[in-house]
Amino acid sequence: MTLDLTKTRADFPILHQQVNGQPLVYLDNGATSQKPRQVIDALVRYYEHDNSNVHRGLHALSMRATDAYEGARARVAKFINAADPAEVLFTRGTTESINLVARSWGHAHLKPGDVVLTTEFEHHSNLVPWQQAAKAAGATLKYVPLLGADGEGGLDMAALDRLLTPQVKLFAFTHISNTLGTINPVAELCRRARAVGAVTVIDAAQSIGHGPLDVQAIGCDFLAFSGHKMCGPTGIGVLYGRRALLDKLAPDETGGGMVVSVTYEGATWKPAPERFEAGTPNVAGAIGLGAACDYLDSVGRERIAAHDDALVRIAMEKLSALPGIRIIGPRKGAERSGLVSFAFENVHAHDIVTFADEDGVALRGGHHCNQPLMRKLGLTSTTRASFYLYNTEHEIDRLVTSLRRIQNFFAG
């Protein structure tokens, strides 16, 4: 069940380079993943052989492009076990997906007195759209608290039960926290939300491609993710929506490709998914995303999940041994996804990232688009190392060596 790391790393051309004279150690996968040759080849093949507009042309290239685009939709539907490919809407990414729900669903359903529920540890992309939607409707936005001084306790499930009242019309939460690494019990959260009739929206940006994901087993109404964090291209993402909800949802954007009939007086909409994909879509991006699904399944998503888990346990053990380190999120490797976010008392995250870069180690430093959470934890920034299928234990050692050098330099 273990990954063949030599073979896997050989699939990613970008990994085989030196940065500042050192072999690259790429530990910024939470921000974006690298792309395997198989995905890059799919993009090149499309542009060299099939490039055309979709759903419009009757010529050979257009039909090929349309087949490939709709094939990618069916592939993604299978990847997340959607009941129907029409439940997969292509967007620019997680942010656009969530905004689409917040604007379209929010505009149609939210009223003064309603409550939108989210958590204290959402990425800004699953927070600001709900602030805006609640404001526009005169509804109230409430937050399920995070437990523990370092956010180690996860969601406060007792508080959730108190907060989940019949006034809650929508509950939006992350699958995996990009800052804490916390894995939320998404199926359980959906079950509790359903009991009060609330619609559920899951931000799956950090979980997609890191393990198996089944929207029917989770039981969510909407689920959003980006292609670029799962070995796919940038600029393509997905909003999964249950058919029954999509059929009743008005489009957010209008224009070509999403209409049945247009007169000078008005227009009528196609059903999902076309209703939500006005204009020429990102055809190449969708095809690249389909290729990424193929690639990840050829490696095996259970294997990837086990690999992430093994790496994060090693990283937690080795990083915990560094003097003065404060690690946020779940204490045990087993309870967290493949990322570790930490702070040193006397060295700011940006200084750490600059020094690590000098050693060829790519990290993320900052507030991770999570400013309210940082404030709650009494931090202004953390440094994050996030792992994926091509990372190795040796790379964690390189990280630790670099961090020791940084601590020594600033202790000077």
Partner 1 sequence: MQDLTDLYQSVILDHNRRPRNRGKLPTANRVAHGDNPSCGDQCTVYLRLDGDRIGEISFEGSGCAISQASASLMTLNLKGKTVPEAEALYADVHRLVTTGKVDEDNLSDLAALAGVHQFPARIKCATLGWHAALNAAKGDPITATTETHKD
Strand partners, 365: 383
Q: CA-to-CA distance for 13 and 35, rounded, in angstroms?
A: 8
Q: CA-to-CA distance for 290 and 72, rounded, in angstroms?
A: 5
Quick one: 59 or 350, whose CB is closer to partner 1? 350
Quick one: 71 or 372, whose CB is closer to partner 1? 372
Site size toward partner 1 (CB under 8 A) is: 19
Q: CA-to-CA distance for 5 and 13, rounded, in angstroms?
A: 14
Q: How far is the CB of 373 from partner 1 (least distance, A)?
A: 12
Pick from 314, 351, 362, 376: which binds partner 1 (CB under 8 A)? 351
Quick one: 121 or 240, whose CB is closer to partner 1? 121
Q: How far is the CB of 71 from partner 1 (least distance, A)?
A: 38
Pick from 86, 183, 283, 347: which binds partner 1 (CB under 8 A)? 347
Q: CA-to-CA distance for 104 and 326, rounded, in angstroms?
A: 41
Distances in whole angstroms, Cα of residue 77 to Cα of each of 94, 206, 362: 16, 18, 33
Query: Which of the stretches 151-159, 201-209, 349-357, 387-395 binds partner 1 when contact is defined by CB under 8 A?
Result: 349-357
For residues 137 and 72, the answer to whether their CB atoms sit within 8 Å is no
141 touching partner 1, by CB under 8 A: no
Q: CA-to-CA distance for 152 and 25, rounded, in angstroms?
A: 27
Q: CA-to-CA distance for 361 and 342, rounded, in angstroms?
A: 16
Quick one: 97 or 381, whose CB is closer to partner 1? 381
Q: How far is the CB of 234 from partner 1 (least distance, A)?
A: 18
R_g of the chain computed on alpha carbons: 22
DSSP label at 230?
G
Q: How far is the CB of 410 from partner 1 (least distance, A)?
A: 7
For residues 341 and 366, the answer to whether their CB atoms sit within 8 Å is no
Residue 393 — φ and ψ, nearest 5°?
A: -65, -35
Buried b (16+ CB within 10 A) or exposed e, 3-29: beeeebbebbeebeeeeeeeebbbbbb
Cα 36 to chain centroid, rounded: 18
**For 366, left (φ over 0), alpha (ψ -120 to 50), or beta?**
left
The active-site residue out of 190, 220, 231, 369 is 369
Q: How far is the CB of 20 from partner 1 (least distance, A)?
A: 9
Q: How far is the CB of 269 from partner 1 (least distance, A)?
A: 32
Quick one: 102 or 316, whose CB is closer to partner 1? 102
Quick one: 272 or 352, whose CB is closer to partner 1? 352
Q: CA-to-CA distance for 71 and 250, rounded, in angstroms?
A: 25
Pick from 144, 239, 349, 399: which binds partner 1 (CB under 8 A)? 349
Selection from 149, 184, 170, 176 nearest residue 328 by Cα: 149
Quick one: 341 or 381, whose CB is closer to partner 1? 381
For residues 199 and 169, the answer to whether their CB atoms sit within 8 Å is yes
Query: Which of the stretches 176-184, 195-203, 285-293, 350-358 binds partner 1 when contact is defined by CB under 8 A?
Result: 350-358
Q: How far is the CB of 65 from partner 1 (least distance, A)?
A: 36
**Stretch 307-346: interaction string toward partner 1, x if CB under 8 A:** ---------------------------------------x
Strand partners, 171: 117, 200
220 annotated active-site: no
- Residues in 353-412 at the binding interface with partner 1, rule: CB under 8 A: 354-355, 358, 365-367, 371, 374, 380-381, 409-410, 412
Task: Summarize as ranges the residues that interact with partner 1 (CB under 8 A).
Answer: 346-351, 354-355, 358, 365-367, 371, 374, 380-381, 409-410, 412
Active site members: 369
